Chain A
Amino acid sequence: MSFRILGTGHSVPSRIVTNDELSTFLDTSDEWISSRVGVRERRVCTTETAADLAYQAALNALEMSGTKPEELDMILCATISGDDASPSLACMAQGMLGATCPAMDINAACSGFIYMLDTAAGFFARGKVKKMLVIGAERTSRILDWNDRNTCVIFGDGAGAMVLGEGDGYLSSKLFAKGGDSVIKIPLFVGMSPFYDNETLEPYVHMNGQETFKFAVNAMCQDVPEVIEEAGLQQSDITWVIPHQANIRIIDAAKRKMDIPQERFCSNIDRYGNTSAASIPLLIDEMNREGKIKEGDYLALCSFGGGLSSAACVIRW
C-alpha cells in the first residue's frame, strides 16, 4: 500500500516581475537570464505570505479531490522559506483550512517535495492515514539577495499541493544526500547572541552555480533511470518527466543523456522561475488542469538542490 493522487492545486502571487523589470535595478538583461536560466518572468509576493500560497494551493487540491479539510489525517509541507521558524507552514495551513489533523514541515530544500511524498508513502504503508495533504510552498523572495544578479534572477514564489488517498500509485523512489554547505548555503537569520563568536553570513541564498549545475545534471541522469528500473519499467514507458524547475539548462543537459524522447521533459520555468520545493507540484497541477495527464500515465519526478540532496520517484497516475 502506498497512495494515489486524488487532486492537485497550485497558487502563485499575482505580482509578475519580468526580466526587463529586474534589469532596471540589476546589471542583467532579458537575453542573459533567458539563455542562462530559461526564466522570462517570475511571481513575487507583495502582500501574500507563504502560508497564504500554501492555503490557496491546498484549497484547490481539496476541491478537485472532493475532500473536506476535516477528512485529512495528516498535513505535510515541504519548504525552506516559510514565514516563520514556528509555527510550521503546515500548521499555518492546517489552521487556515480548519483541519484538525497533525501537521509538520519537511526540509530537503529543492528536493523537499519528493522527500515528502516518500514520507507520506510511509504513513500510508503503516496504515496510519487514509487521506493526506502534501504542500510544497515557498516565498523564496524572502531569502534572496536582490543585489546579487547571479541568484535573485533565478527564483520565484509559489505553491503546489496534492491530496493523497490510499492506493498503489507510488511505484519506486530514491532519496540521496551528500551533506555539506560549500555549494549551496542559505543561513538562517544572524541572531543577536552576545556570546557567538563565529563569522556569520547574510541570511540569503549563497550558491556556486557551476557546481550546482554539475550536481543537478549528474543526479538527474543517475536517479531517473534508477527509479524507472526499480518500478520495472523501460525509459520509453515514461509519459512525462517532471524535473524540479531549477534551470532549463540543467534539464536540457540531462535529457540529452537519457533514452526518453525529449518532448516528454516538462517545464514551466519560463513563467515561474525556480520555486524550490513548490516547482514539481506547481508544474503537475498545471499539466493536470490542462488535461495532459491521463489515468495510467507513468510520471518520473526528479529533484536536486541544497543539502546537497536529490530525489526521484515514479508515479502511476
Chain B
Amino acid sequence: MVFETIARNIADRLDCDVATITEETTFESLGIDSLDTVEMVMELEEELGFEIEMEGSLKTIGEFAEFVESKRP
C-alpha cells in the first residue's frame, strides 16, 4: 500500500505514468535526489499519520517503501 502511495506521489511530482514506476526503479534514474525524498517523506508523514525518521540513503522505490513501512507504529 505504501508503495502505491509513493508511486502515485512520484508520478504526480514528475508528471509521468504511474505504471512506469516499479519497485526496482531507482531514484537516480528518475532524477530524484536525497532532499526530494525527504520532501516525499514529509508528505507521507502527513498522509500516513506517523513520523518517519530519516537515516541513510535508499536506492530503489521498493527499498524506500519497505523503509517507510518499517516505521509504522
Contact = CB atoms under 8 A, between A and B. Distances in A.
B33 A214 contact: no
Contacts, number: 27
Contact of B42 (A36, A214, A249): A214
A217 B42 contact: yes
B52 to A, nearest CB: 9
A248 B37 CA distance: 16
B35 interface: yes
Contacts of A253: 35, 39
B40 to A, nearest CB: 11
A213 B33 CA distance: 13
Interface of A: 35-36, 208-211, 213-214, 217-218, 247, 249, 253
B54 A211 contact: yes
24 contacts: A35-B33, A36-B33, A36-B34, A208-B54, A209-B35, A210-B34, A210-B35, A210-B37, A210-B38, A210-B54, A211-B53, A213-B35, A213-B38, A214-B38, A214-B41, A214-B42, A214-B54, A217-B39, A217-B42, A218-B42, A247-B35, A249-B35, A253-B35, A253-B39
A227 B53 CA distance: 28
Contacts of B38: 210, 213-214
Nearest to A208: B54
Given A36-B33, A210-B54, A217-B39, 10 more contacts: A35-B33, A36-B34, A36-B35, A208-B54, A209-B34, A211-B54, A213-B38, A214-B54, A247-B35, A249-B35
Choose among B37, B38, B41 the residue with the greatest number of A CB atoms under 10 Å from its CB: B38
Nearest to A247: B35
A310 to B, nearest CB: 16
Interface in B1-57: 33-35, 37-39, 41-42, 53-54
Residue among A36, A211, A214 with most chain B CB within 10 A: A214
